[in-house]
Structures are given as C-alpha cells and as structure tokens.
Amino acid sequence: EPEALDPRLRAPDLVDRELSVGLPDAATRRALLERLLADVPRAGDVDLGAVAARTPGFVVADLAAVRREAAVSAALRGAGSDPSEQVRQSDLLDAVGSVRPISLSGGGTLGSGGLTLDDVGDMTEVKAALTEAVLWPLRHPDSFARLGVDAPRGVLLYGPPGGGKTFLLRALAGSGDLNVFAVKGAELLDKYVGESERAVRELFRRAGEAAPALIFLDEVDALAPRRGGSTDAGVADRVVAALLTELDGATPLREVVVVGATNRPELIDPAMLRPGRLERLVFVPPPDAAARADILRAAGRDVPLADDVDLDALASELDGYSAADCAALLREAALTAMRESLDAGEVTAAHLATARRAVRASLDPAQVAELEAYARRRSDG
Ligand SMILES: Nc1ncnc2c1ncn2[C@@H]1O[C@H](COP(=O)(O)OP(=O)(O)OP(=O)(O)O)[C@@H](O)[C@H]1O
Ligand SMILES: [Mg+2]
C-alpha cells in the first residue's frame, strides 16, 4: 500500500525508485504453473494454458494454493488403491474454483453464490446486450482494434425493482470468465470527507490490476445522483466527479468494463450516461407471460412439481408479477407444502394456489409506465 507510507519516505532523495510488482498476465501465469508443477506427476490431459486462462487475478501464491488443492484431490482419489495417481486437468480446474485469490480478498467482490447463467430464466435480450457490451471487449479486443474503434466502456441496466438486474450480474460473475467488483451505491457514500473519492479510485485501480474485470455499480442512482441537488455537503457531487474521471480513463482502463444498475434512471447525473461512459442503456422490462414461464422454470429447476402443475398456464395469470415475485411464489408454495407435512415430496397446484394469496404482484403500474416512457425517449434518441 504505497499510498499509506509517510510521503517523506518516498521523497526523491530517500527512496527514489518505485518498482511495482503487478498481477501476472495469462502468459506469465502459464509459466508460473509450469514451474510450480514441474515435480508433480501430471496426467496427459493437463493443459496449463487453459488453467492460466481461467485464473485472472491470481497471484503466484494463489497458483501454489491451486497446486496444493489439486494434489490433495488426486491423492485422495488414489488413496490406498493406486499410489501412482496423477494430477488431472479436472483436479486443477476444481481447485481453481475453490481457491479465493488474495488480490480479491479485500472485499468488494461479488459472491456469485454458485449461480450460473442457467439459473437465470428468460432475459434473452438483456443477456445478448451484455454479451456484446461486456464479453466481447474482454474476449476479442483484437476485433475492436482491427475496426479502429474503442470497445464500449459501460452499460446501464435499468428496469423496475425485482427484475433480476442484480441477479443476472451475480450469475455473470459465477460464469468465471472475469473478475467482478461490485459495490452498492450507498456503501461508498457514507464515509469521511475525501474517503468516498478514494474508495472510487481504489475500486478502479484494483479492477485494473485484476483485468479482465467488470465493475458493477449496483443502485448507481445513489452513487451518482444529479449534481447540485444534494444536501450532503457535496459528498455526492465529488463522488460523481471522481467516477467521471475514472470512467474517462485518467488511468487508462485496460479490459475493464463498467456496468451500472438502477430502477430510477432519471435520477442519475446525465454526464454519467454520455458516450465513453455508461453509454449503452439496456432496459430490463417487466416479464411478459412467456418470460414469466421461463423464470418459473429456471427458479423451479430444483423444485419437484406435481403433474397437475402447468407453469405456462400459471405464468399467463401472473400479470404484474416481477421476476422476484415469480421466484418468491415458488418458494412460498414449497413452504406451504412443508407446512402440510415436513415429509412433503412435491409441490402441487393447490400449494401454488395458496401461495398466490400470500405473494402479491409487486410491480407498480405507474412506475413501470414511467420507466417505459424513459426507455422510449432514450431509443428515440
Ligand atoms: N430471470 C430470473 N430467473 C430466475 N429468478 C429470477 C430472475 N430474475 C430475478 N429472479 C429472482 O428475483 C430475485 C430479485 O431479483 P434482483 O434482486 O436481481 O432484482 P433487481 O432488478 O436487482 O431489483 P432492484 O431494482 O430492486 O435492485 C432474485 O434474487 C431471484 O431470486
Ligand atoms: Mg438490484
């Protein structure tokens, strides 16, 4: 933490050279793995390049931990029976999943809770927009270079509450392709003078080091409200200024994409939404009947449903239900089944009907109309 040192120590006449030992890139990680695994008996399917590609943000100590975990699982498999057991590719990849890299341990990263994109029902358009705006720049920087354009810097997801914005980003973090740094708007704000701006700079610096990375500013309306209107002695204004500076790349961002999410886009400072900043606006609409059916299927993947349950028919009756309501409905139905009998083995149509009396539609038509009007204004240009 060089910034934490007494500046007098870093004066030009005292300690006058500074050498930064950054995070290893994929090629370096591969070389490190080669060396770390030099004495480890490896099966033929081991592909260290693939392991290196899966470990952005890992420092050499993390890679050593991967080696240890992989060796332990190989040893357990061979215990007693086959003392010549070797480390396989699957051991290494499992180990990658279980090691939490040091560079990400400072908090602020998004726990995916084991979610994957398969857990997310519907949202096809939103997923496609995110793939283009988030995964392309990270996976195909050469294509952007060839066409002579900069990759989009940021995306703003907006839509009514409970639409799955946060959920989708958690699933994206779980896909393992990139490091996700997440903050909630309010978390950064309530700090001492000057601390919030420092936290913003620190966030972007750490993401830059862990590239390819994604910075997720959840509830960004709290973080970047219209300037000049606040009552908190200008803290919010200074945070907006710091965010704009970072987004404009005072320190050039390499392979870092920023995604914001909000259910009140009109509160965000317009300067945040200019090209080069959160330029791509993606509307997450309230789910229609087909989308609700998809969401019910995804949310109910592990719920044993009785034969009399028709999710499509159910979905078509759930007008005004958000994605969160649909998920809550299934949860409530399962609880209803449990209340009847703790040994309940399936959830029936009757349970769902009871649950519908407890879980009401939460979408507010006025708010939805407002958001749709906003979406129309934006797409008209
Ligand atoms: N597409 C989906 N498929 C399955 N479940 C979903 C989906 N979208 C949302 N859910 C469920 O709804 C819950 C709430 O969604 P989430 O918190 O992501 O909404 P949000 O859009 O971030 O709302 P807010 O604007 O209030 O922050 C999730 O935890 C999940 O259980
Ligand atoms: Mg949210």
Q: What is the CA radius of gyration of the chain?
A: 24
3-state secondary structure of 87: strand
Is residue 159 within 8 A of residue 286, CB to CB? The reply is: yes
Is residue 29 within 8 A of residue 63, CB to CB? The reply is: yes
Instruction: Choose the final residue of a domain: 69, 103, 137.
Output: 103
What is the identity of the amino acid at 137?
Answer: P
Tell me which of 303 and 234 has the higher pLDDT.
303
Same domain, 347 and 267: no
Return the CATH number at 237. Answer: 3.40.50.300
pLDDT tens-digit map of 197-207 = 888 888 888 88
Residues 60-67, mean pLDDT to the nearest whole number:
93
Flag whether 99 is in a domain. yes
Same domain, 90 and 124: no
Mutational pocket test of ligand 1: of 116, 167, 259, 295, the residue with most ligand atoms within 8 Å of the beta carbon: 167
Same domain, 266 and 303: no
Same domain, 235 and 322: no
Predicted confidence (pLDDT) at residue 214 exceeds the cutoff of 90: no
Ligand 1 atom showing the smallest separation from residue 157 Cα: 21
Same domain, 262 and 293: no
What is the identity of the amino acid at 338?
Answer: M
Tell me which of 83 and 317 has the higher pLDDT.
317
DSSP state of 171: H
Among 40-44, 90-94, 208-212, 260-264, name the one with the lowest average pLDDT: 208-212
Q: Which of 24, 325, 360, 371 is nearest to 162 (CA)?
A: 325
Cβ-Cβ contacts under 8 Å for 33 (sequence gap 6 or more)? 48, 51, 52, 63, 67
Return the CATH number at 66. Answer: 1.10.8.60
Question: 18 — phi, psi (to 5°)?
Answer: -125, 130
Tokens of 28: 């370096």
Is residue 141 within 8 A of residue 255, CB to CB? The reply is: yes
Tell me which of 55 and 307 has the higher pLDDT.
307
pLDDT tens-digit map of 3-27 = 778 888 888 888 888 887 777 878 8
Task: Please tell me if the CB atom of residue 329 comes closer than 6 angstroms to any atom of ligand 1.
Answer: no
Task: Please tell me if the CB atom of residue 214 comes closer than 6 angstroms to any atom of ligand 1.
Answer: no
Same domain, 295 and 252: no
Cβ-Cβ contacts under 8 Å for 358 (sequence gap 6 or more)? 332
Same domain, 121 and 269: yes
Residues 329-357, mean pLDDT to the nearest whole number:
92
Same domain, 176 and 253: yes
Same domain, 172 and 256: yes
Max distance between CA atoms of the chain, in angstroms, equals 81
Flag whether 371 is in a domain. no
Tally of structural domains, the chain: 3
Is residue 168 within 8 A of residue 116, CB to CB? The reply is: no
Same domain, 129 and 268: yes
pLDDT tens-digit map of 184-197 = 877 777 656 677 88
Same domain, 198 and 86: no
3-state secondary structure of 157: strand
Distance between Cα 134 and ligand 2 center (Å):
18
Task: Please tell me if the CB atom of residue 123 comes closer than 6 angstroms to any atom of ligand 1.
Answer: yes
Banded model confidence at residue 253, pLDDT cuts 50, 70, 90: low
Flag whether 378 is in a domain. no
Same domain, 12 and 56: yes
Task: Please tell me if the CB atom of residue 293 comes closer than 6 angstroms to any atom of ligand 1.
Answer: no
Is residue 23 within 8 A of residue 61, CB to CB? The reply is: no
Flag whether 133 is in a domain. yes
Q: Where are the alpha helices (DSSP H) in the chain?
A: 26-36, 48-53, 60-78, 89-98, 124-130, 136-139, 141-146, 165-174, 185-189, 195-209, 220-223, 235-247, 289-299, 311-316, 323-340, 349-358, 365-379
Question: 153 — phi, psi (to 5°)?
Answer: -85, -35
Distance between Cα 288 and ligand 1 center (Å):
15
3-state secondary structure of 197: helix
Task: Please tell me if the CB atom of residue 295 comes closer than 6 angstroms to any atom of ligand 1.
Answer: yes
**Distance in angstroms (rounded) separating the CA atoms of residues 53 and 251:** 25
Is residue 209 within 8 A of residue 254, CB to CB? The reply is: no
Distance between Cα 244 and ligand 1 center (Å):
28
Is residue 300 within 8 A of residue 264, CB to CB? The reply is: no
Banded model confidence at residue 352, pLDDT cuts 50, 70, 90: very high
Tokens of 235: 């803290």
Which residue range(s) make up the domain with 142? 117-285
Instruction: Choose the final residue of a domain: 254, 285, 316.
Output: 285
Ligand 1 atom showing the smallest separation from residue 287 Cα: 1
Flag whether 370 is in a domain. no
3-state secondary structure of 84: coil
Q: What percentage of the chain exceeds 90 in pLDDT? A: 29
Residues 259-281, mean pLDDT to the nearest whole number:
89
Flag whether 167 is in a domain. yes
Cβ-Cβ contacts under 8 Å for 70 (sequence gap 6 or more)? 87, 91, 92, 94, 95
Predicted confidence (pLDDT) at residue 98 exceeds the cutoff of 80: yes
Residues 56-64, mean pLDDT to the nearest whole number:
87
Tokens of 82: 């086959």
pLDDT tens-digit map of 137-149 = 777 878 888 998 8
Instruction: Choose the final residue of a domain: 285, 313, 347.
Output: 285
**Distance in angstroms (rounded) separating the CA atoms of residues 303 and 74:** 34
Task: Please tell me if the CB atom of residue 161 comes closer than 6 angstroms to any atom of ligand 1.
Answer: yes
**Distance in angstroms (rounded) separating the CA atoms of residues 98 and 245:** 36
Flag whether 321 is in a domain. yes
Distance between Cα 312 and ligand 1 center (Å):
20
Tell me which of 189 and 155 has the higher pLDDT.
155
